[in-house]
Amino acid sequence: MENSKEMRNWLDAMNLDHPLVIAGPCSAETEEQVLKIAHELKDTDVNYFRAGIWKPRTKPGMFEGVGALGLKWLQKVKKETGLKTATEVANKAHVELALEHDVDLLWIGARSTVSPFIIQEIADALEGTDKIVLVKNPVNPDLALWLGAVERLANANIKNLGVIHRGFSTYEKTKYRNIPEWQIAIELQQKFPDLPIINDPSHITGKRDMIFDVSQTALDLNFDGLMIETHFDPDNAWSDAAQQVTPSSLVQIMKDLKIRKESSAETDYNVELNTLRAQIDVIDNQLIETLSKRMKVADAIGGIKKSQNVAVLQSNRWNEILGKMILEGESKGLSEEFVLKMFKAIHQESINHQEKILKA
Ligand code: PEP
Ligand code: MN
């Protein structure tokens, strides 16, 4: 698959003066719920009304969606509000039913993207469709797997494609439900600058009060749109209650976001600069994260040294690290002087940490 300007045709044709917005509940629950939310979203910036009909749940016995019945409600949404509709499809039967009910945008969930068999089945069922198909990133941070799924769809002659960045599973304790790993989305944008990319802050954060910040980062990184789960009574939603926002909060979020104007033909200096700065911010945060992880390991070493009554400073080990890092740095375009200074500072901080443990 190669990047081409045509990848953006479906989005450019919409001629939006704001990022694409896909909003609606995590799950369709009842006909009344679906229609009430849709009516509240009607005269806003929302372009597509989303609702999950078939829900991939971690454990059996949780609410697994209303099934095909919900597709009739989506048809009503379109008729009554004029909003276009979107739902998740995860197999051939879903695709056939969604197409029969004229759903406008189909997305493939994170749990499906990991399976080439399922993606191929969906691609075959969608062959040649002019519906919009968006591929969520796989649950694991694997860009090749994500792009492989897009490629299978492209090979099935599906033209109106895009991706949704919804973060990645991790066993680590973090403030996110699914860590963003922005660098993966950035790499995808660098490889396919014209493939529309939508951010899903709801599934990244898992918490409604973090949605604004993640959305702003996404827009600063030049994402094309947002998918935000919206419900008139979020706390009582049948799935993903903590992360859904009300229609009026969604409107407020959209109002507060700093939306940079698109410059399509010529690359505007400021747009480019802001994008690069946002990338630097992401990397700087990762640096701090990595350094803090390193110090935690140093603390653990401090604990062992204390129990064995061993001195903090082990100069052989230190010289060995330094030598290796200078070579490694040089191979990556970093000067010896810089690597030396940086590692001295890191080493000093490690020693301070270990001293503290020894004295405790
Ligand atoms: C969803 O959008 O409701 C959903 C199930 O998302 P994901 O596949 O990102 O978990
Ligand atoms: Mn959800």
Tell me, which fold does domain 267-359 have in CATH? Answer: Chorismate Mutase Domain, subunit A (1.20.59)
Tell me, which fold does domain 4-256 have in CATH? Answer: TIM Barrel (3.20.20)
Best probe residue, ligand 1, of 58, 140, 200, 239 (max atoms within 8 Å of C-beta): 200
Whole-number Å distance between alpha carbons of 212 and 234 = 16
Domain range summary for the chain, segments of one domain joined by +: 4-256, 267-359
Across 99-108, 110-119, 216-225, 308-317, least confident range? 308-317
Q: Residue with structure tokens 């009910």?
A: 101
pTM for this structure? 0.82
Nearest to 19 by CA among 8, 9, 11: 11
Instruction: State the CB neighbour count (10 A cutoff) for residue 182.
Output: 23
Across 124-128, 158-162, 173-177, 301-305, least confident range? 301-305
- pLDDT, tens digit (0-9, with 9 covering 90-100), for 35-72: 999 999 999 999 999 999 999 988 888 899 999 999 99
Residues, CB within 5 angstroms of ligand 2 (ion) = 26, 240
Q: What share of the chain is helix, strand, coil (3-state, %, to 5)?
A: 55, 10, 35
Q: Read off the amino acid at residue 160.
A: N
* Domain 4-256 and domain 267-359 have a common topology: no
Q: Read off the amino acid at residue 151.
A: E
Q: Report the DSSP beta bridge partners of residue 22.
A: 48, 227
Please tell me the residue having the least CA distance from ligand 1 atom 1. Answer: 26
Task: Dig out the tokens for 22 from the structure.
Answer: 């896909």
The SS3 call for residue 85 is strand
